[in-house]
Amino acid sequence: MREPHPLLAVDDLSIDMTVARGTVRILDGVSFSLASGETLGVVGESGSGKTMTALAIMRLLPQPSARLGAESRILFSGKNVLKLDERAMRRLRGREISMIFQDPMTALNPLFTVGEQIAETVRWHEGGTRAAAQARAVDMLRAVRIPHPERAVRSYPHQFSGGMRQRATIAIALACRPKILIADEPTTALDVTVQAQIFDLLEDIQEETGTAIILISHNLSTIARLTRRIMVLYGGRKVEEGPTREIIRNPRHPYTEALLRCVPGLRSEAEHDAELPEIPGTVPAPEELGGGCPFAPRCSHAAARCRSTMPPAAALGEKHKVACWLHEAAQSAVT
């Protein structure tokens, strides 16, 4: 399904970060697109560049330490977001693209009621009366299934539990009916039963409103449930991308493969009794990356070439792409 403009197209996104020891490239040439109404899963370990990708789309990268690569482009409905001035960007944030964060305990302003926080967002984007915005706040709280929404609008965040707070941040994020919702590890700070509820909620909201969702997580099994398409990041690079089913059944990049072996629920019956494997080594710090494949130091298939040269993306089938020398044969097919 190809539209003239995908809703969001991220093209060759690179981010350089100034750290104490100099400048490191924390995200290198990541490209992906998102169609309206779609859910894209972004998987990767801590430090793989997931959150930075999200913040780059929102243009909220830490300043002045992070800089975008010159060739980076982020197209929202065909317009380059990176070229917009701050005013236009503010109109985009919250209204066209919203974001929810990992820790709902800190994402709400403790001094204002939940209702005020929703109503304010509505009023500064859409205007309208205080009463209308307040009514919208009640509707939003009902939509995210907070019990007794009429009473909950007058509650302060500290009166909410973690799960309810995350529901409230989702309510704020969706109050202006954005086209894209970026959910950056929305359930990491919550306990398991609440996690499932939040995912159910996101799934329902997607069905009802058609909001496209970028779901960021380090947990493949949660992502597998909710998405049709997955992008795997490792060390600031996109190592594999494709339909969720295909990647779960037939991962082609050694990293994805290793990651899948570590998820108990996704393994085959035969493997079930065996000890859960782990990936040897740790994620390299960005400054330790050379020119080669970032996974090479931990990869069991690594050859000399892997350490010196980054493999280009190879297309396996129509939508499945992988950046690994093991699939060199398919590389000629890539443009």
Partner 1 sequence: MAELAVGRERKPGSGFSQGLRRFAENRAALAGLIVLLLIALMGFIGPLVYPVNPFAIVATPMAPPGDGAPLGADYLGRDVLAGILAGARVSLFIGISATFCTAIIGTVTGSIAGYYGGKADTILMRITEFFQVLPPLLLSMVLVTLFSPSVLTVILSIGLVNWIGTARIVRAEFLRIKGEGYVLAERAMGAKNGRIIFRVILPSALPSLIVVTTLQIGIAILFAAALSFLGLTDPNVMTWGLMIGQSRPFIWQTWWAVTFPGIAIFMTVLSVSLIGDGLNEALNPRLRPR
Q: 3-class DSSP state for residue 24?
A: strand
**150 backbone dihedrals φ, ψ, rounded to 5°:** -60, -35
Q: Is 90 in the site for partner 1 (CB under 8 A)?
A: yes
Which pairs with CB-CB distance under 8 Å and at least 24 residues apart come from 256-260? 256/232, 258/298, 259/43, 259/220, 259/232, 260/220
Spatial distance between the Cα atoms of 72 and 328, rounded to a whole number of angstroms: 26
Q: Is 127 in the site for partner 1 (CB under 8 A)?
A: no
Q: Stretches 22-30, 86-94, 233-241, 307-315: which one binds partner 1 (CB under 8 A)?
A: 86-94
CA distance 114 to 277: 44
| Cα–Cα distance measured from residue 258 to residue 13, given in angstroms and rounded to the nearest whole number | 26
The residue from 23, 65, 80, 106 that contacts partner 1 (CB under 8 A) is 106
Q: Which residues contact 125 (CB under 8 A, 6 or more apart)?
A: 91, 94, 95, 176
What minimum distance in Å lies between the beta carbon of 99 and partner 1?
A: 4
> From the CB of 55, what's the least distance to partner 1, in Å?
9
Q: Which of 19, 78, 80, 91 binds partner 1 (CB under 8 A)?
A: 91
Contacting residue, 23, 65, 161, 308, with partner 1 by CB under 8 A: 161
Using rule CB under 8 A, residue 53 touches partner 1:
no
Q: Is 18 or 282 the residue whose CB approaches partner 1 more closely?
A: 18
- Residue 2 interacts with partner 1 (CB under 8 A)? no
Integer Cα distance of 174 and 118 in angstroms:
9
Does position 140 bind partner 1 by CB under 8 A?
A: no
Q: Tell me which of 17, 72, 74, 101 binds partner 1, using CB under 8 A.
A: 101
Could you say whether residue 23 binds partner 1 (CB under 8 A)?
no
Interaction between residue 195 and partner 1 (CB under 8 A): no
Q: State which of residues 13, 81, 99, 212 lies at the interface with partner 1 (CB under 8 A).
A: 99
Place of tokens 């009902």: 142
User: Which contiguous run of DSSP H or E holds residue 307?
Assistant: helix 304-308
Q: Is 223 in the site for partner 1 (CB under 8 A)?
A: no
Question: Residues 111, 192, 274, 329: which binds partner 1 (CB under 8 A)?
Answer: 111
Antiparallel, parallel or unpaired: β 8-19 and 22-34: antiparallel
Chain centroid to CA 266: 21
Q: Give the one residue of 41, 49, 94, 286 binding partner 1; rule: CB under 8 A.
A: 94
Our finding on whether 169 is near partner 1 (CB under 8 A) is yes
CA atoms in the 13 A half-sphere facing the CB of 100: 28
- 64 contributes a contact to partner 1 by CB under 8 A: yes
* Category of 36 on φ-ψ map: left (φ > 0), alpha (ψ -120 to 50) or beta: beta
Shortest Cβ distance from residue 192 to partner 1 (Å)? 15
Binding site for partner 1 (CB under 8 A): 58, 60, 64, 90-95, 98-101, 103, 105-111, 120-121, 124-125, 147-148, 152, 155-156, 158-161, 163-164, 169, 172-173
